[in-house]
């Protein structure tokens, strides 16, 4: 009996090791494009712009309003609130580890962080500025920004291109390494509990990591249809199909309900779940994904194991220093 137990333990260990080899630890530094190398000056400028509500028409909404770097990198809402109390139709994705996404937004319409940073500012529901020309004019009227852009990009450098480059440079510093899973993947077998190892193994067996692959568990730029399996009961309850995903941008039939594969990193902190934020709890989200994507009915025990593993993907958050924003001296942009 002892020999049998030893053999079972050895097989279980080998299985968990093979799982780790199939998945990678999160890098501690994000790659930057050749035309926007990361510098301290850009990061500090980007930090200011990211947290400055004056980039919105009402002076009330910043990037950080929907992507809270004091928490999970989003706002824990089903739909984020923009200017004049308007609510968007999608749940804000986390900004943490977004540098490891090959495409941005839920529908993947932006190919870079720089491109993504330009969008919300002029979206009428989000930050509501009429144009980036208006944004640039506003920044040029603030002496502190003249100095900050000069340090980051050179003289007379305030522009849409440089503003989005600075925001992207800051976002590339928002990395959460050293989760229990990362420590386990690097060889510390005590970093995960037995339940978390079971959950990791089960997630691989089910096929979860065929989509949520790579160091960020995000498929690195891949798109997947959601939901794969139609289910009238769940559709009536959660309205997943109301939003056509990528097809909302491309207007192509074949792109209907295609979505960027979201990261599983820090997913325990980013409820509610799915593109419309219709599912409030992680255990329910896991069961729904198994049913709608993989055609599997998960037991409560397997669900609890997978949730325990997902908890192990919560990394270490670098301490965030809130910027002192450049003053608007003697006037206001708000009406």
Looking up residue 130, the CATH number of its domain turns out to be: 1.10.760.10
Distances (CA, A) of 223 to 98, 203, 218, 260: 16, 19, 10, 5
φ and ψ at residue 225, rounded to 5 degrees: -75, 140
Q: Per the domain annotation, does 33 fall within a domain?
A: no
Annotated catalytic sites, by residue?
126
Q: What is the pLDDT of residue 173?
A: 98
Q: Same structural domain for residues 306 and 268?
A: yes
Query: Which residue, among 219, 30, 249, 272, has the nearest Cα to 119 in the 3D structure?
Result: 249
Judge if 46 and 147 occupy the same domain. yes
Per-residue pLDDT, 17: 43
Domain membership of residue 325 (yes or no) is no
CA distance 177 to 33: 21
Give the number of C-alpha atoms closer than 13 A to the C-alpha of residue 37, restricted to the C-beta side: 2
Q: Does 63 fall in a domain?
A: yes
Residue 5 confidence (pLDDT) = 37
pTM recorded for the entire structure: 0.91
Residue 148 and residue 211 in one domain: no
Whether residues 200 and 167 fall in one domain = no
Residue numbers of the domain that contains 242: 19-28+177-311
Residue 222 domain-assigned (yes or no): yes
- Shared domain for 183 and 111, answered yes or no, is no
Q: Based on the fold, state whether residues 303 and 181 are members of the same structural domain.
A: yes
* Region of 219 on the Ramachandran plot (φ > 0 left; ψ -120 to 50 alpha; else beta): left
Low-confidence ranges of the chain (pLDDT < 70): 1-23, 334-335
Q: Does residue 223 contact residue 261 with C-beta atoms inside 8 Å? A: yes
Q: What is the pLDDT of residue 220?
A: 78
Domain boundary residue, one of 136, 171, 206: 171
The verdict on 158 and 50 lying in the same domain is: yes
Decide: 169 and 42 in contact? Cβ < 8 Å. Answer: yes
Q: How many domains does the chain have?
A: 2
Say if 318 falls within a structural domain. no
Is 228 in the same domain as 133?
A: no
- Asked if 101 and 128 sit in the same domain, the reply is yes
Tell me whether residue 330 is exposed, middle or buried, using C-beta atoms within 10 angstroms of its C-beta: 0 to 12, 13 to 18, 19 or more: exposed
Shared-domain flag, residues 118 and 233: no
């Amino acid at each position: 009996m002892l020999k049998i137990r030893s053999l079972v333990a050895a097989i279980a260990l080998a299985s968990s090791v093979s799982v780790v080899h199939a998945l990678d630890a999160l890098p501690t530094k994000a790659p930057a494009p050749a035309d926007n190398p990361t510098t301290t000056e850009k990061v500090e400028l980007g930090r200011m712009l990211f947290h400055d509500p004056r980039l919105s028409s009402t002076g009330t909404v910043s990037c950080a309003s929907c992507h809270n770097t004091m928490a999970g990198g989003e706002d824990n809402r089903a739909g984020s609130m923009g200017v004049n109390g308007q609510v968007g139709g999608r749940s804000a994705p986390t900004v943490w580890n977004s540098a490891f996404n090959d495409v941005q937004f839920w529908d993947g319409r932006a190919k870079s962080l720089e491109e993504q940073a330009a969008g919300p500012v002029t979206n009428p529901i989000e930050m509501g500025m009429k144009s980036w020309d208006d944004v640039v004019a506003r920044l040029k009227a603030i002496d502190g920004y003249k100095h900050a852009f000069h340090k980051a990009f050179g003289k007379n450098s305030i522009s849409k291109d440089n503003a989005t480059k600075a925001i992207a440079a800051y976002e590339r510093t928002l990395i959460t390494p050293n989760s229990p899973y990362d420590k386990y993947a690097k060889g510390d077998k005590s970093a995960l509990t037995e339940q978390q190892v079971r959950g990791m193994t089960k997630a691989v067996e089910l096929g979860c990591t065929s989509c949520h692959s790579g160091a960020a568990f995000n498929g690195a730029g891949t798109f997947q249809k959601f939901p794969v399996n139609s289910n009238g009961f769940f559709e009536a309850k959660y309205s997943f199909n109301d939003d056509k995903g990528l097809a909302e941008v491309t207007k192509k039939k074949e792109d209907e309900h295609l979505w960027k594969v979201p990261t599983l990193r820090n997913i325990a902190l980013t409820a509610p779940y799915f593109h419309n934020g219709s599912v409030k709890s992680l255990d329910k989200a896991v069961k729904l994904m198994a049913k709608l994507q993989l055609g599997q009915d998960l037991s409560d025990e397997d669900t609890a194991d997978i949730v325990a593993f997902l908890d192990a993907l919560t990394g270490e958050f670098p301490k965030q220093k809130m910027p002192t924003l450049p003053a608007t001296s003697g006037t206001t942009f708000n009406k």
